[in-house]
A = this chain, B = another copy of it.
Amino acid sequence: MNARTDDWDIPAIVSGLQTLRVRSLENRQRESQPPRLPSRKVLSDIVEGLASALFPNRLGSGDLLPESVDYFVGHTLDTHLRQLQAAIRRELRFQAEQAGQEPEDCDTRAHALTRCFAHTLPRVRALLETDLEAAWRGDPAAGSVDEVLVCYPGIMAMICHRLAHELHRLGVPLIGRIIAEIAHSATGIDIHPGASIGGSFFIDHGTGVVIGETTVIGERVRLYQAVTLGAKRFPVDADGTLQKGHARHPIVEDDVVIYAGATILGRITIGKGTVIGGNVWLTRSVPPYSQISQAQVRNEEGSS
């Protein structure tokens, strides 16, 4: 390798990286290059497009005449469902490769899944309507429902989650996960697309909220920033491998309020109407209408 002094010796680096790529494929017992995955940037556009089709006057083009709204919605759906169908096709091919199978009927199945997903959109919009109402009623700083829709990170996170959850249920979990991370990055709210969340759900501020894969949340639940609904421990197989996918996150019943910084871990049940205080650490079930608060802190007040 006789690199000149005014270059960067790119061939050597390209070669070094190639060696690592080949080794990495071998480690994962892959014989050839992996199938492509849906792109995060494309999914970000899709989510933005679907959100503007759901709320065309607020999140779409701001200048729509009444006669134009349906054209906007129809055209926006057409454009973004087509992109989504391509993304789903990629995930189906990836799933086949992971399972060591030939990819079959990916085109047809991607179309059918996209169609199913499209028909959930009115239901998603109806649920989001209840979330908006809950935020407006639950936050004294909210000036209007419109402000909630265009400003609140909790609403942005729920738009993404309700879309991602439908995709997760339809069998394209990776796309759901990427959408969840788009919301996570923008809002600091990390909701796994597998989590099941009832209507009128409100997260205020939201930074640091974590809601795990198998969480189940009822109606009219309210959460504040930095709340964790997580797993307590991760069972392993006989050979030490993590068991994946079993129920390990809390069940939160209707009308529960959980204040900032509370950590709730494991497959426990928080009974209906319970209020969990800020910073509480909780790893066992509580009956309905409980009031859980933190141990007293020590205050060493100054005396100047």
Residues of A within 8 A of B (CB): 3-4, 6-14, 16-21, 24, 28, 32-34, 36-37, 39-40, 53-54, 56-58, 61-79, 81-82, 94, 98, 111, 114-115, 118-119, 121-122, 125-126, 129, 137-147, 150-153, 173-174, 177-178, 180-181, 184-188, 190, 192, 194, 205, 207-208, 210, 212-213, 225-226, 228, 230-231, 234, 241-246, 248, 260-261, 263, 265, 271, 273-274, 278-282, 286-304
| Chain B residue at minimum C-beta to C-beta distance from A185 | B186
A119, A150, A246 pick with most chain B CB within 10 angstroms: A150
Which of these, B20, B76, B81, B281, contacts A294 with CB under 8 Å? Answer: B281
Which of these, B145, B146, B225, contacts A210 with CB under 8 Å? Answer: B225
Of the A-B pairs whose beta carbons lie under 8 Å apart in the complex, a sample of 8, sorted by A's number, is A7-B65, A12-B119, A34-B58, A37-B146, A153-B185, A208-B226, A228-B278, A289-B304
Chain copies in the assembly? 6
Q: Would you give the shortest CB distance from A161 to chain B, in whole angstroms?
A: 15
Contact indicator B150/A242 (Cβ below 8 Å): no
A37, A64, A177, A241 pick with most chain B CB within 10 angstroms: A37
How many angstroms between the C-alpha atoms of A115 and B3 in the bound complex?
11
| Chain B residue at minimum C-beta to C-beta distance from A119 | B13
